[in-house]
Amino acid sequence: MTRFRFLALLVGGLGLGLCLTPLVAEITPREAQRYCVDIVLLKGGAELRGSLLARTPELKIAVQRDWLTTHQPEMAKQAAELESQQQKANQEQLAQRITSWRTDRADQPRLTFVLDRELELLKQPAGPKVASSQFVIVSIPSDRVRRVFEAPAASRKLAAAAWFERLERVEETVLGKLKSQVELTHPQWTTEKFDISDRLPNGQPQSDDEWAARQAIWEFEFCKELSFQGTGNFVIRVEAGQKPDLAALLSQSSESLLGGQLDLLGLGDLGLEGAKPKAPVAETWQNKAIAEATKLGMRGFVVTRSEQFTGKGPAVVTSQFFARLSDGKYHLIWSDQVSTDPATIPAADLKRIEDDPQIQQVLKVAKALQLGNEVQQAVRFGGAVEVSLNTATGHFAEFRSRYNRTLDGPPLVITSPTP
pLDDT digits (tens, 9 = 90+) for 169-206: 999 999 999 999 999 999 999 988 888 877 877 777 88
pLDDT of res. 311: 57
Of the given ranges (146-160, 286-300, 332-346), which has the lowest mean pLDDT? 332-346
Q: Is the pLDDT at 24 greater than 90, yes or no?
A: no
- 127-132: average pLDDT: 52
What is the percentage of the chain residues whose pLDDT exceeds 70? 74
pLDDT of res. 56: 77
**Higher-confidence position of 369 and 44:** 44
Of the given ranges (12-21, 161-170, 184-193), which has the lowest mean pLDDT? 12-21
280 confidence band (pLDDT: 50, 70, 90): very low
Strand locations in 213-360 (E): 227-231, 234-238, 300-306, 315-324, 330-340
Does the bond joining 57 to the residue before it have cis omega, within 30 degrees of 0?
A: yes
249 confidence band (pLDDT: 50, 70, 90): low
380 confidence band (pLDDT: 50, 70, 90): confident
Q: Is the pLDDT at 276 greater than 50, yes or no?
A: no
Q: Is the pLDDT at 278 greater than 60, yes or no?
A: no
Q: Is the pLDDT at 15 greater than 50, yes or no?
A: no
Helix axes 73-104, 109-123, angle to 10 degrees: 140
pLDDT of res. 373: 60
Q: Is the pLDDT at 84 greater than 80, yes or no?
A: no
- 71-84: average pLDDT: 86
Q: Is the pLDDT at 13 greater than 50, yes or no?
A: no
Rounded Cα–Cα distance for residues 148 and 33 (Å): 12
DSSP conformation letters of 304-346: EEES---SSS-EEEEEEEEEE-TTSSEEEEEEEEEEE-GGGS-
Domains of the chain, by residue range, sit at 14-205, 227-403
Q: Is the pLDDT at 326 greater than 90, yes or no?
A: yes
101 confidence band (pLDDT: 50, 70, 90): very high
Tell me, rounded to whole angstroms, the distance of Cα 146 from its chain centroid: 30
> Are residues 47 and 41 in contact, defined by beta-carbon separation less than 8 angstroms?
yes
Among 5-19, 211-225, 265-279, 356-370, top mean pLDDT goes to: 211-225
**Higher-confidence position of 355 and 249:** 355
pLDDT of res. 269: 39
- Taking residue 222's Cβ as centre, other Cβ atoms within 10 Å add up to 18
pLDDT of res. 262: 36
pLDDT of res. 360: 63
**Higher-confidence position of 352 and 128:** 352
- 389-404: average pLDDT: 91
pLDDT of res. 260: 41
11 confidence band (pLDDT: 50, 70, 90): very low
- 45-52: average pLDDT: 91
pLDDT of res. 358: 60
Which pTM was predicted?
0.74
Rounded Cα–Cα distance for residues 162 and 172 (Å): 12
- In the predicted model, what is the mean pLDDT of the chain? 80
**27 CB contacts (<8 Å, ≥6 apart)?**
39, 41, 47, 149
pLDDT of res. 314: 87
